[in-house]
Structure 1
């Protein structure tokens, strides 16, 4: 039984106003296009609302992701907590903060995630890579 705690921060600059970047997070159809390439997605974007993703992992294991939104400041900040389970086993619990800052004619996004990784079911470097991948897909969606 192991527990590993990590924090990482990723930054991206997008050629879109903060309002447009925020809308890509808050609109269920828009977010599903860039956030969940395979699987099912549900989004109730409000404080106390949840987001769910059910998909298969690379090894075929069913993955279940459940996030709860705790703080939303339109066009500026989103804070949520997430659990990720593989099969019936809880793999990670995390808290994520997304900050949107106007930068020139675009937006600088700063995402910080604090994670608890349980029993080696997921590795921090996998999470950081996966998060970077979907931030890149967000950038493609905003072009």
Structure 2
């Protein structure tokens, strides 16, 4: 069967500076309760098994009858420095992506660089939407870090 819409391939990179050490930024990704505060939308279900091979799932969205399900598998974890995970956005698969988060000391704080490579299928999601949503997560992370 041939798709009516070609797959869209896109890559984006987002950078943020945080006024806390890399260990605190990393901990905000690793701790399930802290991550849910900045990553999951209000009312969404969130679970996090933070280890190589572990799964993170967020289920929710604007229509409770047709929830978005975002699932990630952690491929690499270097404590305090780097995370690599693969993800899908489904009900029907809309996006498959690979993300690398790098955290480094910058002065008395941290620099975070997130790069995502995505395949967006059948116009169910667009790369600009994903980039905007990811930027909003990183901004909420700033709020959680204080």
- TM-score of the two chains, using structure 2 as the length reference: 0.93
Match of 2:137 in 1: 134
Rounded to whole Å, the distance in 2 between the matches of 1:116 and 1:37 is 23
- TM-score of the two chains, using structure 1 as the length reference: 0.95
Deviations 1:86-109 (A, max 9, x none): xx3100000000000100010000
Give 1:62 shift.
1.2
Give 1:56 shift.
1.7
- What is the 5 A alignment of 1:12-91? 12-38=16-42, 39-57=44-62, 61-85=66-90, 88-91=91-94
Count how many residue pairs are aligned between Structure 1 and Structure 2: 141
Deviations 1:29-63 (A, max 9, x none): 11011111320000000000000000024696310
Rounded to whole Å, the distance in 1 between the matches of 2:16 and 2:61 is 27
Instruction: Say yes or no: does 1:7 pair with 2:11.
Output: yes
Rounded to whole Å, the distance in 1 between the matches of 2:14 and 2:77 is 19
Q: Which runs of 5+ in 1 are unaligned?
A: none
* Pairwise CA RMSD: 1.3
Query: Where in structure 1 do 4 or more consecutive aligned residues deviate above 6 Å?
Result: none
Deviations 1:90-130 (A, max 9, x none): 00000000000100010000000000000000010000000
Judge conservation of contact 2:41–2:60 (CA < 8 Å) in 1. Answer: no
Judge conservation of contact 2:21–2:108 (CA < 8 Å) in 1. Answer: yes
